[in-house]
Amino acid sequence: MEDNKTQEKTIDLASIAKKLWPHRKRYCYVLPATLILTYLLTTCMPRYYDCKVSLAPETTGTSLSGSLGSLGSLASSFGLGGSLAKMGSQDAIYAELYPQVIESRDFLAELMPVEVQTKKGDVKCNYYTYLRDKQSAAWWDVVQGKIKEWFSPTPADQSNGTEKLSVFNLTKLQSDIFNSAKGKIKCTHDKKTDVVSITVQDQDPLVCATMADATCKKLQDFIIDYRTNKARIDYKYYERLCEESKQAYEQARKAYASFADAHQNAVLVSYTAKIEALENEMQQKYNIYNAMNTQKQAAAAKLQEATPAFTLIQSASVPVKPAGPKRMFISIIMMILSFFIMSGIYLIKAK
């Protein structure tokens, strides 16, 4: 019984080849034609390049992971290092949320005014204008866009991309540009190594590398601003108090010096008491100024301590070879698919 089942499950390749052999000439026509036609169609699709930047951000939960010792290392091996960091961190935005930050329209709006230039040097404008006016597309996409434009005309865009766009009320064209940028700029986070990778895809290699570098710097600035927001507010507060107390001390010092110089030879007790009062007031103002200056220095130290550090593992580099479309690979896949489709049709008819 088992031998019979094995024989039933065995594919008879000789029988299949015998059924397909009469159609061999059609294979010789269709398969090369599919290969050539697919390759020609893929040549209509514009080339694109990829640029990848990797960085390791400093996390406030590092001390917790380190204090857990071998348990922290074991958790990291299972991809739980980021969870331990979150347990020891009071940050609302941690490394695992960086992809969501980059995908947000508020963050993308910061990238639109970035100046870009193509490798040939024929285009030099901001990223917003580049996405709107300088993108190539396959002919079928162009035809589809023209048809949509006939039935639903898009109002002219009044923005030149130099000013920061308000994401609260975007036009349809602006929304499409933001979605295009969102599709080109991708961010991933490795839970095991806590490494953040930013990949930018574009039709020009220099623009690709420029935007990858700009995105990396904007992300660092965003995290630094977030982490140091409270410390910067405290520093500015003590800086203002220090400046006010310094001015008050200078006024008290000038008043004391002026009165003392005018009454150097005075022997009256009232004058002596006035000089002592002015001197005490000056000393009091100086003590306040000295205390505020100390608080200002302490706030500056806290600001420096709160500023996170980023280790750049892989910097932006202009790609040499295009990442796609892989024309020959697509053509071969389509040729193989055509072979199986034709074979399936002939085998069904041969039954």
Q: What confidence tens digit (pLDDT) does each residue in 201-237 have?
A: 999 999 999 999 999 999 999 999 988 998 999 999 9
Most confident segment among 1-10, 70-79, 97-106, 161-170:
97-106
Q: Please give the structure tokens belonging to residue 21.
A: 């052999």
Q: Tell me: pLDDT of 286 over 90.
A: yes
Q: Report percent pLDDT > 70 for the chain.
A: 87
Confidence class for position 77, pLDDT limits 50, 70, 90: very low
Average pLDDT over all residues of the chain:
85
Q: What percent of the chain has pLDDT over 90?
A: 55
pLDDT at 78: 46
Which residue's structure tokens are 């580099």?
317
| pLDDT average, residue stretch 282-295 | 94
pLDDT at 94: 77
> Given the DSSP bridges, would you call strands 196-202 and 185-189 parallel, antiparallel or unpaired?
antiparallel
Q: How confident is the model at residue 128 (pLDDT cuts 50, 70, 90)?
A: very high
pLDDT score for 321 = 93
Q: For the residues 174-200, what does the mean pLDDT come to?
A: 93
Section 76-85 average pLDDT? 48
- How does residue 185 score in pLDDT terms, banded at 50, 70 and 90? very high
Average pLDDT over residues 126-154: 87
Question: What secondary structure does DSSP assign to 139-208, as a single string?
Answer: HHHHHHHHHHHHHSPPPPP---SSSPPPTTS--HHHHHHHHHHHHHEEEEE-TTT--EEEEEEESSHHHH
**In this model, does residue 247 exceed pLDDT 90?**
yes
pLDDT of residue 73: 46
Outline where the chain has alpha helix (H): 2-9, 13-20, 24-43, 62-67, 70-77, 81-87, 98-103, 105-111, 127-133, 139-151, 172-184, 205-227, 229-262, 269-306, 327-350
pLDDT tops 60 at residue 66: no
**Higher model confidence: residue 351 or residue 43?**
43
Is 93:59 a contact under the CB 8 Å cutoff? no
